[in-house]
Amino acid sequence: MLNPVWLKSLVAIVQTGSFQSAARALGLAQPTVSQHLQKLEEQVGVTLVQRSRSGCQPTTRALAFMPHATALLDMHARALEALHGNRERVGASSNIGTYLLQPFVRNYLTTANERGEVDLRIAANPDVADQLLAGQLDAAIMEWWLPHPDFEYRLWRVEPLVLIVSPDHALAEAGCIERDRLVDLPMLGGEPGSGTGRLLTEYFGELGVPRSGMQLGSTEAVKQAVRAGLGVSLVMASAVQDEVRSGALVALPIPGLEKRLQLIWRKPPGNLHPPGFVRHLLEEADLAG
């Protein structure tokens, strides 16, 4: 097993560029940091830092090792937190974390019997999946999820997709829009990796997916572009509630087009319960159902 104290000294040396700066950052004496590095190099049998009068430089092998060293330190910190802390690490894909989840976090923190903390991490859906698989998250709420034997998952919420247009668009008074009318509309694209493309392929089938216009990278950017009259787009209904309420955008319902949002958590050992926040969301889902 690699000593986390030695790893922390290596990471500090590489990040700060000198033994003196690393010692200052860690609150240690410089000889202590040097000793940590020496012991680590002896253990792994590889030179990790080249010393010279002008300073020090990480070796190629050290640079290749750095992502693993930081991951080990992160895992060590999380293991200690699991023993002594009460913080739950919850991931959410961007639209869910931005437009849907935060009221549930607030409700959990104010009503949970066991007071704890929720570390909410919002990222693109593929990044959330990677963090979950790497053990960096206790649970996640995502727009899509591929089943994995180490995890349990459940449908959390069905969220309709709507077509958003500017108030002066020709379709603004349509009320709702059918699948056949959507095919010929060039769509502004939002965040990649959200699973919308896969959903549209299934929904449109033999009609083919609508033409894609600008790829804007986020729902917020899409909303601004639609407001400016640059095109139309498909978004989750919850993402445009404020704009629809204020009259800045018009949201047209689309029969049968919806996202099935998934709640995922690592299978607990034995008969242990899922994390507290997961239980809270499951209870809320049961009440809503």
> For the segment 175-218, what is each residue's pLDDT rounded down to a tens digit?
888 888 888 888 898 888 888 888 888 888 887 777 777 888 89
Which CATH architecture best describes the domain 85-155+259-286? 3-Layer(aba) Sandwich (3.40)
> For the segment 231-256, what is each residue's pLDDT rounded down to a tens digit?
999 999 999 999 999 999 999 999 99
Q: Locate tokens 């330190």: which residue? A: 73
**Which candidate, 47, 263, 73, places its Cα nearest to that of 153?**
263
pLDDT exceeds 60 at position 230: yes
Residue 118 confidence class, pLDDT cut points 50, 70, 90: confident
Domain spanning 2-81: which CATH class is it, in words?
mainly alpha
Q: Does domain 158-255 have CATH number 3.10.20.30?
A: no
Measured CA distances, 105 to 35, 100, 156, 234, 273 (Å) = 45, 10, 14, 27, 19
Measured in whole angstroms, the distance separating CA 170 from the mean position of its chain's CA atoms is 36
- CA contacts within 13 A on the Cβ side of 139: 30
Q: Residues of the chain with pLDDT > 70: what percent?
A: 94
pLDDT exceeds 60 at position 113: no
Residue 149 confidence class, pLDDT cut points 50, 70, 90: very high
* Domain boundaries along the sequence of the chain: 2-81, 85-155+259-286, 158-255
Q: Where are the beta strands (DSSP E) in 84-211?
A: 87-93, 117-123, 139-142, 151-165, 187-189
Per CATH, 2-81 and 158-255 having the same topology is answered no
Q: What is the pTM of this model?
A: 0.72
Q: Where are the beta strands (DSSP E) in 53-142?
A: 55-58, 87-93, 117-123, 139-142
Are 146 and 115 within 8 A, CB to CB? no
Degrees, nearest 5: CA angle 66-67-70: 85
Beta bridge pairs of residue 160: 258
Are 187 and 231 within 8 A, CB to CB? yes
Are 261 and 96 within 8 A, CB to CB? yes
9-16 contacts, C-beta under 8 A, 24 or more apart: 9/33, 9/36, 9/37, 9/40, 10/36, 10/37, 10/40, 10/48, 10/49, 10/62, 10/69, 11/66, 11/69, 11/70, 11/73, 13/37, 13/49, 13/56, 13/58, 14/49, 14/58, 14/62, 14/63, 14/66
Helix (H) or strand (E) holding 250: strand 250-266
pLDDT at site 232: 92
3-class DSSP assignment, residue 19: helix
**Which candidate, 83, 78, 193, places its Cα nearest to that of 137?**
78
Residue 288 confidence class, pLDDT cut points 50, 70, 90: low
